[in-house]
Amino acid sequence: MALLKVKFNQKKRVKLAQGLWLMNWFSVFAGILVFSMGLFLKIELRKRSEVMDNSESHFVPNSLILMGILSCAFNGFAGKICYDSLDPAKFAKWKPLLKPYLALCFIFNILIFFTALICFLMRGSLESTLAQGLKNGMKFYRDTDTPGRCFMKKTIDMLQIEFKCCGNSGFKDWFEIQWISNRYLDFSSKEVKDRIKSNVDGRYLVDGVPFSCCNPSSPRPCIQYQVTNNSAHYSYDYQTEELNLWRRGCREALLNYYSSMMSSMGAVVLLVWLFEIAVMVGLRLLHTSLESITNPEDPECESEGWILENSLKDTFKSALENLKKIGKFNQVEAGAEGAEGEEGGKTPAITTVS
């Protein structure tokens, strides 16, 4: 028994073709939207590529761009088929291509679905990329005189100001690295010498943070040095002074920013996927309803359209049997080739008669 069998007359077939033509052009615009989202996400990621450890994070925007291009191509082609289906003479040239095209549409819809899933599941990979990238960026913050790294200070400062964050996971991350360049240290000072000697790696570490960690909403002047020394400042307790420095780490801030963006894009791609499924089902019904016309000379005669010629169970069994046949055929071919090789390898025995 056919799956989702529907009876059609000429009027219904024309309406279906016209509706599908319109839906395909909506899908083309949806493809442009998906392409634009991928391009926007790629630009946003490239803006902060200096604080990302690898290029794996670009897999999502690249997938969106590819799906957008394919969506425009597939739906533009389908729109042409639907338009020509109104004229039997024009539709005849598309008939041999429809089955392969529908198979490609099925694969395309699977790819769109997986692209939507990737948008939701990339958070973990993105977090590790940001964690390592920010760690390296903070390490190079002081290298304002080093070619290739001189921009890192500005990048980190602008990032912390824009996203209202400080450090990798928090402001205390700055205490573990030397973020002040040696160029601006007075090595004749006893304090500087003592700090460098007290560190195993010979680094100048302070319980201070860059100016970009300061919260402008704080009612008092920003305390960015001796942050954890309560006695160094009047009426100050760093554990309760929530407005003095940004408490949130930049990894969390960037992760939330990109995750919310990709989740929204994933939801849009899922909607596009559902629309593409509807278009594919409609195109299959149009295809089968036109193929099952009993009298091609009478365009007004009734016909039947369906999604699958047999039930899901029977279709699945038939597909398995075909796969088994293909497997057996390959085995037979391999065996025949092996037998030919053995026969070719044998040398005929030569007997001499004395």
Query: What string of DSSP letters covers 86-144?
Result: TSHHHHTTTHHHHHHHHHHHHHHHHHHHHHHHHHHH-HHHHHHHHHHHHHHHHHTTT-T
**67: Cβ–Cβ under 8 A, 6 or more apart, which residues?**
31, 34, 35, 38, 111, 112, 115, 269
pLDDT digits (tens, 9 = 90+) for 86-106: 776 777 777 778 888 888 999
Q: CA nearest 95: which of 308, 289, 301?
A: 289
The token pair at 285 is 């019904």
Contact 81, 283 (CB under 8 A): yes
- pTM of the entire structure? 0.78
Higher pLDDT, 248 or 239: 248
Q: DSSP 3-state assignment of 315? A: helix
pLDDT at 323: 65
Token digits for 22?
A: 């319109």
Whether the Cβ atoms of residue 175 and residue 217 lie closer than 8 Å to each other: no
For helices 95-121 and 123-139, angle between their N-to-C axes, nearest 10 degrees: 50
Q: 138 pLDDT exceeds 70?
A: yes
CB-based contact 264:234 (threshold 8 Å): no
The per-residue pLDDT for range 262-312, each reduced to its tens digit, is 999 999 999 999 999 999 888 888 878 777 776 666 667 777 777 766 555
Residue 4: pLDDT band (50, 70, 90) is low
Residue type, 210: P
Residue 1 in this model has a pLDDT that exceeds 60: no
pLDDT of residue 353: 46
The runs of H, that is alpha helices, within 122-209 are 123-139, 152-163, 190-197
Decide if pLDDT at 329 tops 80. Answer: no
Most confident range (mean pLDDT) of 113-117, 229-233, 240-244 is 113-117
* Arithmetic mean of pLDDT, 150-160: 93
Cα-based angle 344, 346, 351 (whole degrees, multiple of 5): 130
- Supply the mean pLDDT for the chain: 83
Q: What is the pLDDT of residues 59-78, one digit of tens each?
A: 899 999 999 999 999 999 88
The pLDDT value recorded for residue 348 is: 52
Return the top range by mean pLDDT from 8-17, 241-250, 331-340: 241-250
Q: How far apart are CA 134 and CA 140, in angstroms?
A: 10
Q: How far apart, in whole angstroms, are the C-alpha atoms of residue 104 and residue 113?
A: 14
Amino acid 354: pLDDT = 41
Residues in the chain: 354
